[in-house]
Structure 1
């Protein structure tokens, strides 16, 4: 038997052992939501409508994030710009010139006073946006320490920020001093995204190209739990509104729903017709729906309980790179490589 055949045999043995352990722990069907919600009526919904369209970027948009008060959106594009938008009027409030056009991530501080960006320059740049009249705004803090691209930035508050990176790590930073507080190093592949627990920013989930999502506590540097199940890169993660569960999206064309309390996958979202990667996920404010964008220019709204497709929308002309539900729950925003941002309701 060749070495490759031996490796494949060991992989099959490992897969069978995992299945046996899962059955012992969760029963024959661990996807308990589909089982327990069989009597729940399917949700019939009219399609979402585009209420606003934000135009102004000249390059592919790679990231977007809502402000906590749901009135503003920050977007990052390969035109070397961060733009802060008024989500209601569609006006540009601020355009920030970046030193690198390979920007991949952005984020709003909960206070709304700062935004961050990061990308292939391996640097997280922090901008104070309280003065929107400054046309030559520069970063007041640049956080250097990652040895790979910055894939996601999320503020805990005005003093601390988390970053994830292609160097397989996440880092918690002190913004005032520009120094590292804690490094999180348990992943074996590029870390693609992170999400903070609602109401408790000490807890976060990261998704990685090693096919796993991991639960962390910023007060320690150890991984609290590893969630497996995807067959390829985990590109995106999002906490359920109550903080007890989270959703993931992967290159394997599926979304999954994990319950932290039992440490298991309790539902999944897939169709035979979907063959492309999931790029971004987020939940409705009620938690009943999961929104997921895909490489085929469309996004789906899934029934979280039943695992069924509710609607599929295709109004962008290129890849949807990022989506997010506004904190007040009234709107969904999608950002695309077609240089447009659309707000849905």
Structure 2
């Protein structure tokens, strides 16, 4: 028994040492190379009158919500392309939107410095805008929002340099997170049912990991050379990726407490605006300001495919909850579903 325990401890120590002293592609040298991807546009969602700035999938894997510079939030049926709900907000540049875990509400916010929750109804003729409830209030624009593992709490980030946790029912501030020295542009909740951490990235070139219970910044990473536009957890929750205006995406291992991979090519000179992982975590999809989506092999660090179709900057990419489709939102006023 002692021998087995020692062997296991030794093996884990070697792996940890490898990650700490090597980059990811060196550790994965003997891993099989991925074949060519066959991903095509299957649906084009048209309905917004200006730049689509954000989108999010519902957990039912069928519906999605999008927000736009036209001041509208639209709930779509991704199968039929039907618009189930259209919500007009009193301000333009609705920069953030998110589906509640139950699928019964959406959150949205932007240049009005507020984040509101709108309950969804089966009655498509109902005026949902009249039912929206202001939950969060920042001192600058709301750049991102996400529900925690229930409909009752909402996490937001803002141009005021802070993130905040709110109670949806009362609108009370539960916890604030101070540590960024410039606009916070993105956040992502750890993917576990008891997830008590989240990661944020912003214009100070930092990616910070936070404990939601204490409000403390527990890890910080600063290797980008420009604004971090997006952060996204790896499916296991042990790592995360970031996208930056420096034209790179980076991969950070939380256990090793360091950057372990950089996804870049000399031919890519435009900023990366958004990232998301495939369900297995083997692929990283990144949207760029040159209107393309690049698919990267997370382990090898090589580009597997380039997706063309949009006619302006990609603002958001999100893989569906079942991993069978990818949705992209763009400044060309459309969303595309790839599969």
Per the TM superposition, whether the score is higher than 0.5 is yes
Distance 2:121 2:74 in 1: 14
Q: 1:56 to 1:45 in 2, by over 3 A?
A: same
The corresponding residue for 1:219 is 213
The corresponding residue for 2:167 is 174
The corresponding residue for 1:22 is none
Q: Deviations over 1:172-207 (max 9, x none)?
A: 000100111100011111100000111133211001
TM-score by length of 1: 0.90
Distance 1:26 1:228 in 2: 22
CA deviation after TM superposition for structure 1 residue 254, in Å? 0.4
Q: 1:27 to 1:281 in 2, by over 3 A?
A: same
RMSD, aligned CA: 1.6
The corresponding residue for 1:203 is 197
Native 8 Å contact 1:319 1:338 kept in 2: yes
CA deviation after TM superposition for structure 1 residue 70, in Å? 1.0
CA deviation after TM superposition for structure 1 residue 158, in Å? 1.1
CA deviation after TM superposition for structure 1 residue 31, in Å? 4.6
The corresponding residue for 1:241 is 235
Is the aligned partner of 1:164 residue 2:157? Answer: yes
Q: Which of 259, 267, 276 is 1:282 aligned to? A: 276
Q: Which of 40, 57, 61 is 1:49 aligned to? A: 40
The corresponding residue for 2:144 is 152
The corresponding residue for 1:94 is 85
CA deviation after TM superposition for structure 1 residue 276, in Å? 1.1
DSSP-derived class of the 1:201 partner = coil
TM-score by length of 2: 0.91
Q: Deviations over 1:107-158 (max 9, x none)?
A: 0011111101111110101100134424421243213431111000100121
CA deviation after TM superposition for structure 1 residue 39, in Å? 2.1
The corresponding residue for 1:70 is 61
Distance 2:122 2:153 in 1: 21
Q: Which of 107, 119, 124 is 1:116 aligned to? A: 107
The corresponding residue for 2:324 is 330
Distance 1:63 1:132 in 2: 25
Native 8 Å contact 2:313 2:331 kept in 1: yes
DSSP-derived class of the 2:284 partner = strand
Unaligned runs of 5+ in 2: 1-15
Dislocated runs of 4+, deviation >3 Å? 25-31
Distance 2:321 2:22 in 1: 28
Unaligned runs of 5+ in 1: 1-24
Q: Which of 218, 226, 230 is 2:224 aligned to? A: 230
Q: Deviations over 1:56-112 (max 9, x none)?
A: 111110000001121111000112210000111111111111111121110001111
Is the aligned partner of 1:270 residue 2:261? Answer: no
The corresponding residue for 2:10 is none
Map 1:6-25 to 2 at 5 A. none
The corresponding residue for 1:19 is none
